[in-house]
Structure 1
Amino acid sequence: MIHAMGQSAKLSLFPVLHLKRSMLSALFSLPTSFFAFLLLLLLSYNAFTMFSLHLNSPPLRSPPKLLNLSSSANSPLFNNPHSPLLPNSTQSLSLSIQRPKRVKKHKRGLRSLRSEPRSPVSLFHSRLKAFFNTSSCQMRFFMTWISPLKSFGERELFSIESLFKSHPDACLVIVSKSLDSHTGSSILKPFVSNGFRVMAIAPDFGYIFKDTHAELWFNRLKEGNVNPGEVSLGQNLSNLLRLVLLYKFGGTYIDLDVIVLKSFSKLRNTIGAQNFDVRTRKWSRLNNAVLIFDKKHPLLFKFIEEFALTFDGNKWGHNGPYLISRVVSRLNGRPGFNFTVLPPSAFYPVDWRGIRGLFRDGIRSKWLVNKMEQIRKESFAVHLWNKHSRELKVVKGSFVDSIISSCCIFCNT
């Protein structure tokens, strides 16, 4: 019975096998030119799918407007500029795109720059104008905070306290997207409730940078033609923001890790030296944590120009303290700039290597005693170098503890 079933299965497969053999015979009987034509069609289709590009046509827009500098032709700055102006728009747009080495690190920052609201009238401009017009400001101060709100802590708040302790009639503008929020308003409410003039406002980079060398650099950054590099993009934007804010509005810029000890009212067009060469009796490095300048000061123009022409996002300090130092060193002795460089004792009496000593108690070395006396007599402020001291605790009886006690506003609240 099993043998009979096997014979039956073979008989049922015979027509199928016969059909296959017939189809193969028909194919082999076709001319060779048919197969060549079929192969050519397949290759053409494959090439089309691999190399065809599907591009969205970009919207038509006019090229970036070149800066008009003819109105300042009488200034010594423009008669003998050290560096050439920025290349024209055609040259800058033809540059090859530099791909950042670490795209993920700056992806969020670049996306937030592209998402800026665009309107005929800048909200930043209208709010800032209203703030200055309704406030009787004896002095204008600017700070920047290009970081998340969770990083804004007691040290930053105390920096604001110390500023208003020495300048109760000043106006303070904190340019910050994170602080310009409901939570940010709650943080600053104690100052406002006590009559101090402080406002946090999100930056409108397009408006702030407009008609300066920063504008073309910023446009290239958004288009992907500037490599933001390994250094935090927020840090470099802060370096540029402080320069342009002072150039357009005038006043004092101060970092949020600087503690103010006495009034800046007698200072004008001033930078502080960070290091001093005892042998040559000259400064060896300047810093940009405290800057005091009149509106449209020519030195600020040179700083902004230098930033746009020499930006390097892979070198820490290149677009900040080192930028200030190299521009001032080139302009040394040239007429028409009129600024003062104060010694390190003014704003940086202790550098980052010795800042730990100000947080300790019980170590009354001769150096520390002399340094504390010097700070009390000569310093307008103390830079705490948060990068190196953020994790340090303020020990009771330390010099920092003494500063807090003498410069705080809400000591008993």
Structure 2
Amino acid sequence: MNSRYLKLLSLKKFKKQVCLAVLVCLLLSIAILHTRWSLFTDENVSCHYTAVEDSLPLFVDLSSPVTIFQFLGYEKVDQREDRDRRYIFFHETSCRGDLTPRQACAIESAARAHPNWTVIVLFSSSVSARAGRAGGLRRLILPNVKYARVKLPDYVMGTPLQDIVLQGKLNSSSYPHSHTSDVLRYTTLYKHPGVYLDLDVVVARSIDELGGSFVVRESDHAVAAAVIAFDDGEVGRSVARAVAWEMKETFRGDEFGHNGPGVITRVLARRCGTDDPSAMNAFMCQGLKVYGPELAYPIPWHEAYKYFSDAGSQPVLADSSHSQPLLPARLFHVWGRFSSHYSAHAGSLYHHLTRKYCPTIYAAFPQEFGR
């Protein structure tokens, strides 16, 4: 009897130990998943409000940004502003204080396709001098690429978007870095005529011929916000004002795309008199050109892996034996949020794009691009 009792007691003790082990494993799994989710959603946005080791000049006006040589002190800064130049803007909001190889590739491709334009890269976090000597920044030695820092609260002051920042809505957002990028892109285009591009857009050909003010549909259901152009004419300025006020009035921190593509899609629905993006055109949209997804989104977001696989790349790329690409894509949005975990393989579309359109960065970081 005692032996059976001891066995039963031992079995109960063993079950408790198993349950405890399972509970510990479950708690550890939850902690790991929470950590990974925190990293994925980039919850910490304090970098946008600090100035530790800030070596870049503040972006006061279009004469503020500096080249990499001026940043490192090798050349004198020219404070004159050339008002006849056209501008392409990029925003870096990740708080890393440097550029990844893929980001640097996007910038190089835009600068090479537009040698007579000025490409301005705006950092919303501090950048140290070390980044210019050892990171992706130092590889971008093209003379038409310039850099500056924006301090978020100061930058949005006097614009319709200032309350979103000053009321802390970005800090409480579920997607703070993405929504900061949304606020910054519309603030920049509200303040300055030009073209905004996401840092995951590879530019294959010049956009000179597309007009001064245009947007691009990512599908038949939505206008995307990765490629936007608003010039200094009546059309560009009116749309720039409209999207800024739309974001102010409808900002939501709990939906990823509500404040980026959602804003421009809603503004165009009113301006163009239709809720069907596939029907939007320059006539309906009062002079604003609306291009189809084949211009910049030849591969939809849910098929982003196709950029990095070694199959099916050639139908999208320009063939050396043809004067024009086989498809009319001038830009390739590679959907970094959905593709950053993919590695580029030799023979993949992304491999071909980077080798051709950002050769300097491609050569500097061969493993990143499937070389």
Same fold by TM (over 0.5)? yes
Residue 166 of structure 2 is matched in structure 1 by 219
Higher helix share: 1
5+ long unaligned stretches in structure 2: 1-37, 67-77, 274-282, 319-323, 365-371
Contact 2:63 2:81 in 1 (8 A): no
**Which residue in the other structure is 2:259 paired with?**
319
In structure 1, C-alpha distance between the alignment counterparts of 2:314 and 2:152, rounded to whole Å: 45
Per-residue Cα deviation, 1:332-375 (whole angstroms, up to 9, x for no partner) = 149895211100001111111222223222x35xxx66445796
More deviation in 399-408 or 129-138? 129-138
Quick one: which amino acid aligns to residue 256 of structure 2? Answer: W
Task: Show the 5 A alignment for 1:30-45.
Answer: none
2: CA distance, partners of 1:106 / 1:377: 36
Identical pairs, percent: 22
Q: Identify the residue that residue 287 of structure 1 maps to in structure 2.
A: 224
Within a 5 Å distance, the mapping from 1:202-241 to structure 2 comes to 202-221=149-168, 226=169, 228-241=171-184
* 1:162 and 2:109 matched: yes
**How much has 1:400 moved relative to structure 2?**
1.8
**CA displacement, residues 60-116 of structure 1 (integer Å, 9 cap, x when unaligned):** xxxxxxxxxxxxxxxxxxxxxxxxxxxxxxxxxxxxxxxxxx9xx98853x556657
Correspondence for 2:60: 125
Task: Indicate the structure (1 or 2) with the bigger Cα radius of gyration.
Answer: 1
The alignment's TM-score, normalised by the length of structure 1, stands at 0.62
Give 1:204 deviation, angstroms. 2.5
Alpha-carbon distance in 1 for matches of 2:100, 2:49: 29
Unmatched 5+ stretches in structure 1: 1-101, 277-283
In the TM superposition, 1:12-51 aligns within 5 A as none
What value does the CA root-mean-square deviation take over the aligned residues?
3.2
1:141-156 aligned within 5 A:
141-149=88-96, 152-156=99-103
Distance 1:369 1:126 in 2: 42
1:14-413 correspondence to structure 2 within 5 Å: 108-109=44-45, 111=46, 123-125=58-60, 128-129=63-64, 133-134=79-80, 138-149=85-96, 152-178=99-125, 180-186=127-133, 187-192=136-141, 195-221=142-168, 226=169, 228-267=171-210, 268-276=212-220, 284-295=221-232, 297-333=237-273, 337-361=286-310, 363-364=311-312, 370-372=315-317, 376-410=326-360
Residue of structure 2 equivalent to 1:97: none
Q: What SS does the corresponding residue of 1:395 show, helix, strand or coil?
A: coil
What is the SS of the residue equivalent to 1:353? Answer: helix
Superimposed CA distance per residue, residues 7-55 of structure 1 (whole angstroms, 9 cap, x where no aligned partner): xxxxxxxxxxxxxxxxxxxxxxxxxxxxxxxxxxxxxxxxxxxxxxxxx
Aligned length: 288
Give the secondary-structure state (helix, strand or coil) at the position aligned to 1:297.
helix
Measure, in 1, the Cα distance between the counterparts of 2:124 and 2:208.
29
Q: Residue 273 and residue 215 in structure 1: after superposition, are their counterparts in 2 closer, same or farther (change >3 A)?
A: same
Deviation for aligned residue 1:287:
0.6
What is the TM-score when the length of structure 2 is the normalising length? 0.68
Q: Provide the C-alpha distance between the structure 2 equivalents of 1:386 and 1:242, rounded to a whole number of angstroms.
A: 17
